[in-house]
Amino acid sequence: MTIDQKTYDRRWWVLGVLAISVFLVVVDNLIVNVALPTLQSELNATTTSLQWIVDSYALVFAGLLLAGGGLGDRFGRKGALQIGLVLFVICSTFAAFATTSNQLIFWRGAMGIGAALVFPATLAIITNIFIDPIERAKAIGLWSAVSGMAVAFGPIVGGALLQHYWWGSVFLVNIPIVVIALVAGKFLIPKSRDENPHRIDLSGFLLSIIAVGSLVFTVIESPVWGWGSFKSNAGFVIAVIAFAAFISAEKRNNEPLLDVRVFSNLRLSAAAGSIFIAFFCLFGFTFLVTQYFQFVRGYDTLSAGIHTIPFAVGAGITAPFAARAALRFGTKRVVAMGLLNMAIGLAIASRMDQHSSYWGHVIISMVIMANGLSLVTSPSTDAIMGTLNRDKAGVGSAINDVGREVGGTLGVAIVGSVFVSLYTPKLASNFAGIPGLIQNLPAGVYEIAQKSVGAAYQVAGRSPAALQDQVQEAVSNSFIHGFRTACVVASAVALVGSVIALVLLPSSPGAEKD
């Protein structure tokens, strides 16, 4: 595919519009995290409900990304981007006025439909207008920098809004951003599509949703059902069967949703795996650290967001450099170093407690993790996009994005489930050690405290005055017990990922395909 001179001349302006669009999608992945304590009290949400409020968006987003990328390739990426933005803002508006946690979970999931059209289109358009490999690496580096900064600015923007307005404002803020992206995109973004489009693979589409959905659902609910219970085992069996059926169906299909044979290319598969692991660790950590800031440290919503600024700075500084560093030093070294940095940052975070200095363990862990994230995302994304022909840019983008979203979704699910599995029995043990506490609590309060960290902290206010300090310390101790172990698990995952990247990724980016 060739591009006209007008499009070539304005390519950096187009990148700006795409950056706004991707910023919106990534921010909404995490902007709700800072509102979790508020949602616990306003909607009476349990910890499991909070996991679903976070994960419903990412789950639908992840499940539809392959289809979204394929639709963009087939019918046009500009159209897919703009339709996705409109759907996104409509569902955001309904989410803002939800009155129950189930309603919010539903509309958050619906927002994922729009996001699944937007995200792959942005990267596919970049690949098509930046045809020079060096320029493409720079553009993807900037695209990744925006994604990385959005990770931190989500909690900051959310905190600022919650400080002055009701929680629904974190969704209504999307409206003006979408309007800007739609108007600018209409005049700047060129039309592009696969010149040899395939029919839509409905069986692959459905099987991919069942596979991802059943896996995430089972991981989130297993702490409630009991690990190893019939329901838990059945959920995992369904996920494995669905994944196997998806792979088998895609191999037999002449026009598959995802040609799974592309993963025989080590550069693509190792890069996608590295992105998966990076976002697994990032989302799992972010889910817990926002609650740590507000519940354990006692920060208000705005302060909790501001305290994540070092993450934005670290990610923003590293991302533009990372893709060029991979061209010079090799994708293998840079990506492996990034995952190693994330493992180190999470290991440092695992030493945090209720008395840790922010300028010690907290800020050091966040900066190292942010640096590691950018070292992974820019080179890995460039490796994936450089492996496939530009006509298949939407599918290549979707592979990259599925790694991000499925990794992030499972990160919240698994890291959150590890936390819940340890927090609940520890809290029961700590409360049992406080004489007379359980007997003096109102009916049902103790049971709710075991399911909700926010409710557990509220128990302190309902306890006899002589016991309040002990109750506060017991809840904090229980939270830290689960938090520390969850960080160790995420750190181990990142460390394993670093070794795999070092073994499987090619030393150099390799030949680009046009």
8 Å CB contact between 95 and 171: yes
The predicted-structure confidence for 335-375, as pLDDT tens digits, reads as follows 999 999 999 999 999 999 888 888 888 899 989 998 898 89
Burial class (CB in 10 A: 0-12, 13-18, 19+), 335: buried
Residue ending a domain, choose from 222, 256, 290: 256
Q: Identify whether 154 is part of a domain.
A: yes
If asked whether residues 179 and 228 sit together in one domain, one would say: no
Helices 266-291, 47-75: crossing angle, 10 deg rounding: 150
CB 335 within 8 A of CB 271: yes
Q: Are 136 and 230 members of one domain?
A: no
487 is a domain residue? yes
* Last-in-domain residue among 217, 233, 256: 256
- What values do phi and psi take at 354, rounded to 5? -70, -15
Do 102 and 228 lie in one domain? The reply is no
Q: How many CB atoms lie within 10 A of CB 407?
A: 26
Can you give the CATH number for the domain in which 154 is found? Answer: 1.20.1250.20
Asked if residue 116 and residue 211 are part of one domain, the reply reads no
Instruction: Tell me the residue type at 387.
Output: T
Q: Are residues 69 and 83 in the same domain?
A: yes
Residue 447 lies inside a defined structural domain of this protein: no
Over its length of 514 residues, how does the chain's per-residue pLDDT go in tens digits? Answer: 456 667 667 778 888 888 888 888 877 766 776 677 778 778 877 767 877 887 788 778 777 777 777 777 777 788 888 999 999 999 999 999 988 888 999 999 999 899 888 877 887 788 778 777 777 777 877 776 776 667 667 767 777 787 788 888 888 888 888 888 888 888 888 777 666 666 777 888 888 878 877 887 787 777 778 878 999 999 999 999 999 999 999 888 887 777 787 787 777 888 889 999 998 998 888 878 877 887 788 887 678 777 877 877 777 777 777 777 777 888 888 999 999 999 999 999 999 988 888 888 889 998 999 889 889 987 888 777 777 666 666 566 667 777 877 787 788 778 888 888 888 888 888 887 887 676 666 655 666 666 667 667 766 666 677 777 787 888 888 889 999 999 999 999 999 999 998 888 876 655 444 3
Beta-carbon neighbour count of residue 225 at 10 Å?
A: 15
Residue 458 lies in a domain: no
Asked if 211 and 165 sit in the same domain, the reply is no
Amino acid (1-letter code) at residue 445: V
Round to whole Å and give the CA distance between 140 and 378.
6
Whether 204 and 257 have beta carbons less than 8 Å apart is answered as: yes
Contact at 8 Å (CB) between 207 and 404? no
Residues 182 and 227 in one domain: no
**Based on the domain organization, do 326 and 193 belong to the same domain?**
yes
Give per-residue pLDDT as tens, 226-245: 878 999 999 999 999 999 99
Which structure tokens are listed for 214?
């059943």
Whether residues 310 and 393 fall in one domain: yes
Asked if 482 and 416 count as a contact pair (C-beta separation under 8 A), the reply is no
- Using one digit for the tens of pLDDT, what is the confidence trace for 435-448? 767 666 665 566 66
Are 159 and 268 in a shared domain?
yes
Written as one string, the DSSP assignment of 456-506 is HHHHHHHS-GGGHHHHHHHHHHHHHHHHHHHHHHHHHHHHHHHHHHHHHS-
Predicted TM-score (pTM) of the model is 0.73
**Are 56 and 122 found together in one domain?**
yes
**pLDDT confidence of residue 446:** 66
**Dist CA 157 CA 143 (whole Å):** 20
Residue 177 belongs to some domain of the structure = yes
Dist CA 210 CA 50 (whole Å): 22
Question: Is there a domain that residue 382 lies in?
Answer: yes
Q: Are residues 119 and 177 in the same domain?
A: yes
Secondary-structure breakdown of the chain: helix, strand, coil percentages, each rounded to the nearest 5: 85, 0, 15
CB half-sphere exposure, 160, CA atoms < 13 A: 9
For residue 314, the one-letter residue type is G
Number of domains observed in the structure of the chain: 2
Q: How far is the C-alpha of 217 from the C-alpha of 213, rounded, in Å?
A: 6
Q: Is 66 inside a domain boundary? A: yes
Asked, for residue 186, whether it belongs to a domain, the answer is: yes
Q: Show the domain range for 231.
A: 201-256
